[in-house]
Amino acid sequence: MTDLSLLGPAQRETALTRMADEQFDLAIIGGGSTGMGAALDAASRGLSVALIEQRDIASGTSSRSSKLIHGGLRYLERLDFRLVREALTERDLLLTKLAPHLVYPVPFIFPFRHRLWERAYVAAGVAVYDALAASTTNPLPRQRQLSRRSMLEAFPALDATAFVGGLRYYDAGTDDARFVVALARTATREGAAIATSTRAVGLPRRGDRVTGIAGVDLESGREVTIRADVVINATGVWTDDVEQLVDDPVPDVTASKRVHLVVRRDRIDSSMGLITKTKKSVLFIIPFGEFWLIGTTDTAWTLDLAHPAASTGDIDYLLGQVNRLLADPLTREDVVGVYAGLRPLVTGSQGATSQLSREHAITHPAPGMVTIAGGKVLVWINVDGDVGIDVLRCWMGQDSTETNEQQRVDLITQVTVFPTVTSVEPAPHLFGAPSKIDGATNGAAGKCGIDSTNDGAGAQTLILADSFNNLLGWLWVATPEERIIIRAGGASGFGMKLATVPTTKTGWSFGVTYREI
| 158 secondary structure, DSSP code | B
Determine the pLDDT at residue 352: 46
Would you list the DSSP string of 260-287? EEEEEGGGS--SSEEEEE-SSSEEEEEE
Return d(Cα 43, Cα 295) in angstroms, integer: 36
User: Helical H runs in 324-473?
Assistant: 381-395, 405-411
- Which among 368, 350, 371 is positioned nearest to 244, based on CA atoms? 371
Determine the pLDDT at residue 251: 81
Instruction: Give the H or E element holding residue 402.
Output: none
User: First CA to last CA across the chain, in angstroms?
Assistant: 17
Q: What are the b/e assignments for 227-253, b being 16+ CB within 10 Å?
A: bbbbbbbbbbbbbbebbebbebeeebb
Cβ–Cβ under 8 Å, residues 378 and 176: yes
Cβ–Cβ under 8 Å, residues 242 and 199: no
Q: What is the pLDDT along the chain (517 residues), one digit of tens a residue?
A: 567 788 999 999 999 999 999 999 899 999 999 999 889 888 877 789 999 999 999 999 999 999 998 877 777 777 777 778 878 888 888 888 888 999 999 999 999 998 888 888 888 888 888 777 766 677 888 889 999 999 999 999 999 999 999 999 999 999 999 999 999 999 999 899 999 999 999 999 999 999 999 999 999 999 999 999 999 999 999 999 999 999 988 888 889 999 999 999 999 999 999 999 888 788 999 999 999 999 989 898 999 999 999 999 999 999 999 999 999 999 999 999 999 999 888 874 344 444 444 465 788 899 999 898 876 555 555 544 445 545 555 554 545 444 443 343 333 333 332 222 233 233 333 223 332 223 322 222 222 232 222 333 333 333 333 333 333 333 333 333 433 333 333 332 333 333 333 323 222 222 223 332 2
Determine the pLDDT at residue 360: 59
- Which among 242, 201, 243 is positioned nearest to 218, based on CA atoms? 201
Instruction: Give the H or E element holding residue 429.
Output: none
Phi, psi at 92, each rounded to 5°:
-70, -35
Burial class (CB in 10 A: 0-12, 13-18, 19+), 192: buried
Pairing of strands 299-300, 291-295: unpaired
Return d(Cα 49, Cα 27) in angstroms, integer: 6
Determine the pLDDT at residue 235: 95
Greatest Cα-to-Cα distance within the chain, rounded to the nearest angstrom: 86
| Amino acid letter, residue 63 | S
- Which among 128, 151, 102 is positioned nearest to 272, based on CA atoms? 151
* Long-range CB pairs of 2-11, under 8 A, 24+ apart, other chains included: 4/188, 4/189, 5/185, 5/186, 5/188, 5/189, 5/515, 6/185, 6/188, 7/57, 7/181, 7/184, 7/185, 7/188, 7/194, 11/188, 11/194
Bridge partners for 61 per DSSP = none
Cα angle: 95, vertex 124, 89; to 5 degrees: 25
Pairing of strands 449-451, 437-438: antiparallel
- Which among 431, 492, 486, 432 is positioned nearest to 463, based on CA atoms? 486
Sign of CA dihedral 181, 378, 338, 252: positive
User: Helix (H, G, I), strand (E, B), or coil: what is residue 134?
Assistant: helix
Cβ–Cβ under 8 Å, residues 58 and 7: no
Sign of CA dihedral 82, 403, 375, 101: positive
Return d(Cα 308, Cα 271) in angstroms, integer: 32
